[in-house]
């Protein structure tokens, strides 16, 4: 695949800390398309999706009148639905037109759209690099933030099974083909759902014990078994905040840059072998909290790595 469609999603309605909507600009400013052109790709810059400003959305009266309790607690759900639907269409269309969707967040709620679009165009497994399990639901969330829910939404966990959440479910993605890598923050309210689901989890302790090589190797095998390919969702807060400070929900004890780079080198190698990579996203880059665009620069380096930049 020589065409890459860069899809910017300036979304911050799924998280509490403002600024993550500037993630796509920060990643572009760090030289993304130049670096990918240099790798021999043809980059098409789709214009950023339109995301409503929090100041102008959801009339308070209308919110009050919602009878469904879980929708009241969850912040900006109608707007997240609107953006997810646009993103799903865009990602699906890119794959159908033989382009590779490279999706730039925005907070992690955008993965709802990426997963549903990608999974409509291809039969995929998922590797999810993240400090968090993002397995809350409108009922279990204590923050009300949708960026803590995308994986549960895609898999139809809990209330996400209800008909009104059809837009959020990723048809075709099954938990057996979903692997979470790098966990170190799981809410008490989401723990049972993670454990009861059939997703595979590798915590930071698993990485310490088994080494990144082993963990990523297993993740790739599990996610890509009996499917056409994989979607990789990369939350920059997987990396330790001393290295990637520009994220809204930092958790100490994260991956080193070397581990992150190695993980994506392994993805690239598997892709060279079996062309398994169907779509890729980098989320949660928050330039307001960053230092000299370091976190966006890391996202660019990791994108290049995943897409085949070789040292030798």
- Look up residue 83 and give its two tokens: 């953006």
- Comparison of 130 and 304: residue with beta carbon closer to ligand ARG: 130
Footprint of ligand ARG on 160-179 (CB under 6 A): none
The DSSP H or E segment spanning 265 is helix 257-274
State phi, psi for 179 to the nearest 5 degrees.
-130, 125
CB 173 within 8 A of CB 126: yes
The verdict on whether 231 is a catalytic residue reads: no
CA atoms of 15 and 75, how far apart (whole Å):
9
The reply on whether position 75 binds ligand ARG by CB under 6 A is no
CA distances from 123 to 107, 171, 173, 174, 246 (A): 24, 9, 7, 10, 33
Question: Is 3 labelled a binding residue?
Answer: no
| Residue 108 within binding range of ligand ARG, rule CB under 6 A | yes
Was 134 annotated as part of a binding site?
yes
Looking at the Cβ atoms of 7 and 247, the one nearer to Mn ion is: 247
Contact 275, 296 (CB under 8 A): no
Q: From the list ligand ARG, Mn ion, none, pick the one residue 136 interacts with, judged by a Cβ distance below 5 to 8 Å according to partner type.
A: ligand ARG
Applying CB under 5 A, which residues contact Mn ion? Answer: 108, 130-132, 134, 235, 237
Nearest to Mn ion of 105, 158 (CB atom):
105
Structure token digits, residue 209: 């014990």
**Separation of alpha carbons 310 and 307, rounded Å:** 9
108 belongs to the catalytic site? yes
Q: Where are the beta strands (DSSP E) in the chain?
A: 3-9, 42-45, 100-105, 124-129, 178-183, 200-203, 229-235, 277-283
Alpha helices in 97-203 (DSSP H): 111-121, 150-155, 188-196
C-beta of 185: minimal distance to ligand ARG in Å?
6
**Stretch touching ligand ARG by CB under 6 A, among 136-144, 168-176, 203-211, 286-294:** 136-144
Annotated catalytic residue, options 79, 190, 235, 281: 235
Which residue, 145 or 271, has its beta carbon nearer to ligand ARG?
A: 145
CA distance 109 to 112: 6
Q: Which does 233 bind (CB under 5 to 8 A by kind): ligand ARG, Mn ion, none?
A: none
Out of Mn ion, ligand ARG, none, what residue 148 binds, judged by CB under 5 to 8 A for its kind, is: ligand ARG
Question: Pick the catalytic residue: 132, 259, 265, 304?
Answer: 132
Contact 90/7 with Cβ under 8 angstroms?
Answer: yes
119 near ligand ARG, judged by CB under 6 A: no
Least distance from ligand ARG to the Cβ atom of residue 12, Å: 12
The reply to whether 235 sits near ligand ARG by the rule CB under 6 A is: yes
Q: Which two tokens stand for residue 64?
A: 């009050």
What is the biggest distance separating any 2 CA atoms in the chain, rounded to whole angstroms?
Answer: 61
Q: Candidates 3-11, 68-76, 137-145, 301-309: pick the segment binding ligand ARG (CB under 6 A).
A: 137-145
Catalytic, 284? Answer yes
Answer yes or no whether residue 286 interacts with ligand ARG by CB under 6 A.
no
For binding to ligand ARG (CB under 6 A), which residues are involved?
108, 132, 134, 136, 141, 143, 145, 147-148, 187, 235, 237, 249, 284
Catalogue the active-site residues: 108, 130, 132, 134, 147, 235, 237, 284
């Amino acid at each position: 695949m020589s065409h890459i469609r860069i899809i910017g999603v300036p979304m911050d309605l799924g998280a509490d800390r403002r600024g993550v909507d500037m993630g796509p600009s920060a990643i572009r400013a760090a030289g993304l398309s130049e670096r990918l052109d240099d790798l021999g790709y043809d980059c098409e810059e789709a214009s950023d999706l339109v995301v409503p400003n929090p100041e102008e959305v959801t009339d308070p009266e209308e919110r009050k009148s919602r009878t469904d309790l879980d929708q009241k607690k969850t912040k900006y759900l109608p707007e997240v639905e609107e953006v997810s639907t646009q993103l799903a269409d865009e990602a699906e269309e890119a794959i159908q037109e033989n382009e590779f969707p490279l999706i730039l967040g925005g907070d992690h709620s955008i993965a709802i759209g990426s997963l549903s679009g990608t999974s409509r165009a291809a039969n995929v497994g998922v590797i999810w690099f993240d400090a968090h399990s993002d397995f809350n639901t409108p009922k279990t969330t204590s923050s009300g933030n949708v960026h803590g829910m995308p994986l549960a939404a895609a898999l139809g966990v809990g209330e996400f099974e209800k008909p009104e959440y059809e837009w959020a479910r990723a048809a075709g993605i099954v938990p057996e083909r979903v692997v979470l890598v790098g966990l170190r923050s799981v809410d008490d309210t989401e723990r049972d759902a993670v454990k009861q689901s059939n997703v595979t989890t590798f915590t930071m302790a698993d990485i310490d014990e088994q080494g990144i090589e082993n963990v990523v190797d297993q993740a790739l095998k599990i996610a890509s078994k009996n499917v056409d390919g994989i979607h990789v969702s990369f939350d920059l807060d997987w990396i330790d905040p001393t290295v990637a400070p520009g994220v809204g929900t930092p958790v100490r004890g994260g991956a080193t840059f070397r581990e992150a780079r190695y993980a994506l080198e392994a993805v690239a190698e598997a892709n060279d072998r079996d062309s398994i990579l169907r779509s890729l996203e980098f989320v949660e880059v928050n330039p307001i909290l960053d230092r000299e665009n370091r976190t966006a620069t890391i996202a660019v380096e990791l994108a290049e790595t995943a897409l085949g930049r070789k040292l030798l």
